[in-house]
């Protein structure tokens, strides 16, 4: 082979130098800028995702805000079912209202000492209550439905005993119904909450005393 001509040698050297400059330009200038652009693009994608999540959360919060009154009403209803105090005066008024609605008379009320229960990991207190109710059978049946389905205070009826009052001993006459039930309280109770009475509304807020 013959030696390369000087002009071709210079051409090859120039091409090699151009490639070297191009490589240096990539690693020194273009490469970092490209990586920076990729990072910016990735950050923009992450930001868009976060914005989407925040927008959806904002929509949820706005919906919850519109439903706030409904939540407050639900809380009020739940608190009436499970109050944080014995609220015996309120409960007695509910009993009297149930009696009026079903044409029966609540003639006796006895509240025993509370006991502790655990429900769904939460501690509540159970108040044993014994009611004496007088009326006809259909009215007494309606009274029990009022207690469990209509009145706001949550109760659990555990036993019922019916005794006819008439000389014939017929359940078609007036019947005295003894109802044993449990009412529930969501917080600490005082040591003495027992009540025994004739079904008239007590004057103190929690109905304590005779």
Q: pLDDT for 69-93, tens place per residue?
A: 665 656 565 666 788 888 899 999 9
What gap in Å lies between CA 72 and CA 78, rounded to an integer? 10
What gap in Å lies between CA 175 and CA 107, rounded to an integer? 12
Average pLDDT on 129-155 reads: 92
For residue 15, the tally of other CB atoms under 10 A from its CB is: 10
Residue partners of 64: CB distance under 8 A and separation at least 6: 71
Residue partners of 200: CB distance under 8 A and separation at least 6: 92
Q: Which residues pair with 156 in a beta bridge?
A: 182
Q: What is the pLDDT of residue 102?
A: 95
Residue partners of 174: CB distance under 8 A and separation at least 6: 134, 135, 136, 164, 165, 166
pLDDT band at 194 (very low <50, low <70, confident <90, very high): low
Element of type H or E holding 178: strand 175-185
pLDDT exceeds cutoff 60 at 199: no
pLDDT exceeds cutoff 80 at 140: yes
Q: What are phi and psi of 207, to 5 degrees?
A: 75, 20
Please state whether the predicted TM-score (pTM) of the whole model is above 0.85: no
Q: What is the pLDDT of residue 204?
A: 39
pLDDT in tens, 177-189: 999 999 988 865 5
pLDDT band at 206 (very low <50, low <70, confident <90, very high): very low
Q: Higher confidence at residue 53 or residue 140?
A: 140
Distance of CA 11 to the CA centre of its chain: 83
Q: Higher confidence at residue 60 or residue 208?
A: 60
Query: Closest Cα partner for 185 from 76, 112, 97, 80?
Result: 80
Q: Higher confidence at residue 61 or residue 152?
A: 152
Q: What are phi and psi of 41, to 5 degrees?
A: -65, -45
Joined together, the tokens standing for residue 25 give 């330009």
pLDDT exceeds cutoff 50 at 205: no
3-class SS of residue 200: coil
pLDDT band at 22 (very low <50, low <70, confident <90, very high): low
Q: Higher confidence at residue 63 or residue 174?
A: 174
Q: What is the DSSP letter of 147?
A: I
């Amino acid at each position: 082979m013959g030696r390369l001509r000087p002009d071709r040698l210079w051409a090859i050297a120039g091409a090699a130098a151009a490639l070297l400059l191009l490589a240096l330009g990539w690693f020194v200038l273009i490469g970092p800028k490209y990586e920076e652009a990729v990072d910016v693009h990735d950050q923009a994608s992450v930001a868009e995702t976060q914005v989407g999540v925040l927008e959806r959360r904002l929509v949820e919060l706005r919906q919850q805000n519109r439903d706030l009154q409904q939540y407050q009403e639900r809380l009020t209803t739940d608190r009436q079912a499970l109050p944080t105090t014995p609220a015996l005066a309120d409960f007695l008024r509910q009993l009297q209202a149930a009696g009026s609605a079903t044409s029966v008379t609540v003639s006796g009320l006895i509240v025993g000492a509370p006991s502790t229960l655990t429900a769904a990991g939460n501690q509540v207190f159970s108040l044993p209550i014994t009611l004496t109710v007088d009326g006809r059978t259909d009215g007494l049946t309606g009274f029990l439905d009022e207690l469990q389905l209509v009145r706001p205070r949550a109760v659990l009826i555990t036993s019922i005993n019916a005794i006819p009052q008439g000389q014939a001993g017929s359940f078609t006459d007036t019947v005295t119904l003894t109802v044993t039930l449990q009412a529930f309280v969501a917080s600490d109770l005082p040591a003495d909450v027992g009540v025994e009475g004739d079904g008239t509304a007590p004057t103190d807020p929690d109905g304590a005393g005779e």
